[in-house]
Amino acid sequence: MENIQQRGHLLTEQINPNSKNLDQLSTVELVDLFNTEDAQTLKAIAQARVELAQAIDVTSKSLSQGGRLFYVGAGTSGRLGVLDAAECPPTFCTPPDMVQGIIAGGAGALVRSSENLEDRPQDGAEAIAQRQVTEKDVVVGISAGGTTPYVHGALNAAKQRGATTIAMACVPAEQVPMIVDIDIRLLTGPEVLAGSTRLKAGTVTKMALNILSTGVMVKLGKVYGNRMIDVSVTNSKLYDRALRILEELTELSRQESAQLLDRSGKQVKLALLMHWTGVDAEAGQLLLDNHQGNLRAALETSKNP
């Protein structure tokens, strides 16, 4: 037991003075306390704005050149990475392998705690090797306390392979140094329930991942204005959203929008290009391909051939 690392000094493990009487609060007081403490997440994001912007820029550049984005974590951090990766294909019509979540323990750890597996750095390194990570790729290591051996093993292996490495942690760099290309520190302070990083640390991590992945997709041209024009039309809700995007941007009727969407093969971006330029689906797709799927660039070319 003497070899177990002392972690009590870490920001995420410290005692929150505002919640020392947590078990004696009324229910409303308990809710109010959580609400007050969660406000720290907004401040943490603001303080990490420069690093988040850097991460968006390097990741979008890598993905535009055929690279992939990997999130690596254990426990809550791993689940949040897998969640963000899983939501990219339906939201932005990305290939399943473009954004991938890697969690210690694999798929089973998403629904059943496998926290004991986070202590194996060799497993993190092996996960990177299995996915044949290269210098084109970006690997984001997510660890609330910054000490997860699985994450450190993955980041070290990714760095050796020449990949761009990004750390996302909720402790100051001086407490846990991480040798990476971009170091994102999301400092939300001690948890309401001491050491329970599924709380503020988990919330701010979800916020940061939302910003990172959405920012990257904006840079990749998968958004027009604030519309998700690469939405995957796979159910009735998304079909309705696609029709509303077309109705709002083209001023066509709902029936006309449905006909246009059908002619485009249910691709909103292509439908918009077809409507605005008069090209057919085949020519429109070729035009988009020539501009890496960027609708604005394709429209500009059509205006100035």
CATH number at residue 270: 1.10.8.1080
**Run of H or E including 47:** helix 40-47
CATH value at residue 21: 3.40.50.10490
100's enclosing H/E stretch is: strand 99-103
Q: Would 6 be classed as within a structural domain?
A: no
Q: 229 lies in a domain?
A: no
Same domain, 275 and 206: no
**Is 115 labeled as catalytic in the residue annotation?**
no
pLDDT digits (tens, 9 = 90+) for 156-183: 999 999 999 999 999 999 999 999 999 9
187 lies in the same domain as 260: no
Do 244 and 174 share a structural domain? Answer: no
* CA distance linking residue 164 with residue 216, whole number of Å: 15
Give Cα separations from 272 to 116, 219, 247, 280, 303 (angstroms): 50, 19, 10, 11, 15
pLDDT at position 1, please? 37
Please compute the mean of the pLDDT values over residues 70-84 and round it to a whole number: 96
Give me the phi and psi of 295, to 5 degrees please.
-65, -45
Q: Predicted confidence band at 2 (pLDDT cuts at 50, 70, 90)?
A: very low
What is the torsional sign of CA 196, 199, 201, 202? positive
- 147 and 295: one domain? no
User: Domain check: are 30 and 134 in the same one?
Assistant: yes
Q: Which of 51, 118, 191, 248 is catalytic?
A: 118
Residue 215 lies inside a defined structural domain of this protein: yes
Do residues 152 and 281 both lie within one domain? no
Residues 214 and 248 in one domain: no
pTM beyond 0.95, yes or no: no
Find the catalytic residue in 87, 115, 126, 256: 87
Last residue of a domain, one of 219, 247, 274: 219
In a domain, 231, yes or no: no
Tell me the chain's radius of gyration from C-alpha atoms: 22
Residue 299 sits in the same domain as residue 203: no
The pLDDT tens digits of the residues spanning 106-148 come to: 988 888 776 667 889 999 999 999 999 999 999 999 999 999 9
Domain count, the chain: 2
Q: How far is the C-alpha of 50 from the C-alpha of 73, rounded, in Å?
A: 23
Residues 209 and 262 in one domain: no
Asked if the structure places residue 1 within a domain, the reply is no
- At residue 10, the 3 state secondary structure works out as coil
Q: How far is CA 104 from CA 55, 69, 221, in A?
A: 23, 17, 32
Residue 38 within a domain: yes
pLDDT tens sequence across 186-231: 999 999 999 999 999 999 999 999 999 999 999 999 999 999 999 8
125 is a domain residue: yes
User: Is 3 inside a domain boundary?
Assistant: no
Domain enclosing residue 211, as ranges? 11-219
37 has catalytic annotation: no
* 155 pLDDT more than 70: yes
Q: Is there a single domain that holds both residue 249 and residue 199? A: no
Answer for the pair 72, 140: CB distance below 8 angstroms, yes or no.
yes
Are residue 33 and residue 163 in the same domain, yes or no? yes
Looking at the fold, whether 39 and 184 belong to one and the same domain comes out as yes
Assign 227 to helix, strand or coil: strand
Single-letter residue type at 189: G
